[in-house]
Structure 1
């Protein structure tokens, strides 16, 4: 696990952007695993700017998103499908037929999970998977207690997750109670994983990720088993780590 500390959120976003571009430029048919939420928004903005400046093209890229709320159609403004359109897909040259988000609004969730897995296998392993870090250690929507051998599945959201995401809805009562998510085993099959964490609210989770035991009670702890993980933090998120635990401190270009 390579731990990178950036000066601030903007620099974190720029550093992550460079890793994504490197993956795109070094693969003929790159497959990206993407995350939603507040933390990767800056990275997506930086990628759009890089595309506008002709530093990268998405025309050969395929994407698979981590998760989606159960009960929300892709046109719903709170759906993750809509999030990706508004924060990346509508502003770059990606083939939107090659952008995949788990279907939240379906009558057969079990089949939807199987279909999503099969589609990923048809496209090969994910070259780079972007993750956020929940305050309770969730990755994707794999909440504490999720077995490490799970594939894409439906999960009931932890109350802390719903509270954290309530800011995107009119009230917490509007936050869905379930989601469809890539499983932990699915995530771990990615060739490279980049985890982003920003802000003071994530410092305890980051400390536990680095120092804590490997346990399903803190799903992100599984990442210690992967041989190519980069954790990108801003100074606030890294504030409880010792100097010895940080591999590199990087500043703005």
Structure 2
């Protein structure tokens, strides 16, 4: 595991974005595993800046997002498809057919999960970006007695819905289910980039990275990955030094 602690979020964003742009410049057809939420916004902003400065092109890149809410259309401003278009896809030169998310509106969710897994198995991510939930979830793989390896539909725990309620008018509008890559799919990435910010994540990031490997803390399974890069700000990393 490679751990880097940054004094500011700005420094973290610059470093993470440079990892992506360096990879793309070395491998123009790179496969990127992407995440949503508040954590990656600054990273995507720096990637867009690099594109506008002509330091990188996304024309040959393929992307796969971790997850999508069930029941939200891509034009819903709380869907992850909308988020990705807003923060990255519409601002760089990636062809629309090369940017993939699970379809949360699929009539047959099981078939959609198999379709997504087939694409992931054909071209695993060169680098997979992850955030970390307060309960240790990655993607929407929630703490449980067992975890599903492949893409699947998951019922969101109330603590996860409450954490995401800030993005909605009320918690009643937060979807109860999501389609998510499984931990097995995530672990197939060549490199995993875990980004964590804020003092409220300090205890769970320490538990995930230094505690026992358990499905009750899904992120703890990242300890088994041969190339895990962890970027944290000073507050999130205060128990790691």
Structure 2 length normalisation: TM-score? 0.98
Equivalence for 1:114 = 114
More divergent stretch after superposition (145-154 vs 96-105) = 145-154
The 8 Å contact of residues 120 and 185 in structure 2, kept in 1 or not, is answered as no
Aligned runs of 1:85-124 on 2, under 5 Å?
A: 85-122=85-122, 124=123
Aligned runs of 1:24-43 on 2, under 5 Å?
A: 24-43=24-43
Equivalence for 2:177 = 178
Deviation at 1:11, TM superposition (A): 1.0
The whole-number CA distance in structure 2 between the counterparts of 1:200 and 1:146 is 28
Deviation at 1:236, TM superposition (A): 0.6
The whole-number CA distance in structure 2 between the counterparts of 1:188 and 1:91 is 29
- 1:130–1:146 CA distance, 2 compared to 1 (3 A): farther
The whole-number CA distance in structure 1 between the counterparts of 2:63 and 2:114 is 17
Equivalence for 2:55 = 55
Cα shift readout 1:162-218 (whole Å, capped 9, x = no counterpart): 111001000011000000000000000000000000011111111112221000000
The whole-number CA distance in structure 2 between the counterparts of 1:210 and 1:117 is 27
Equivalence for 1:125 = 124
Equivalence for 1:221 = 220
Equivalence for 1:81 = 81
| 5+ residue gaps, structure 2 | none
The 8 Å contact of residues 146 and 219 in structure 1, kept in 2 or not, is answered as no
The 8 Å contact of residues 148 and 222 in structure 1, kept in 2 or not, is answered as no
Query: Does 1 or 2 have the higher relative contact order (CA < 8 Å, sep 6+)?
Result: 1
The whole-number CA distance in structure 2 between the counterparts of 1:234 and 1:125 is 28
Deviation at 1:107, TM superposition (A): 1.2
Secondary structure (helix, strand or coil) at the match of 2:115 reads helix
Cα shift readout 1:116-152 (whole Å, capped 9, x = no counterpart): 1112233x22100000000100000000016345200
Secondary structure (helix, strand or coil) at the match of 2:18 reads helix
The 8 Å contact of residues 69 and 80 in structure 2, kept in 1 or not, is answered as yes
| 5+ residue gaps, structure 1 | 243-253
Equivalence for 1:248 = none
Aligned runs of 1:4-23 on 2, under 5 Å?
A: 4-23=4-23
Equivalence for 1:245 = none
The whole-number CA distance in structure 2 between the counterparts of 1:230 and 1:186 is 17
The whole-number CA distance in structure 2 between the counterparts of 1:148 and 1:176 is 21
Cα shift readout 1:91-116 (whole Å, capped 9, x = no counterpart): 00101110000000111100000001
Residue 46, structure 1, aligned to residue 69, structure 2: no
The whole-number CA distance in structure 1 between the counterparts of 2:92 and 2:83 is 14
Name segments (4+ residues, structure 1) moved above 4 Å: none
- 1:179–1:146 CA distance, 2 compared to 1 (3 A): farther
The whole-number CA distance in structure 1 between the counterparts of 2:79 and 2:65 is 12
Equivalence for 1:141 = 140
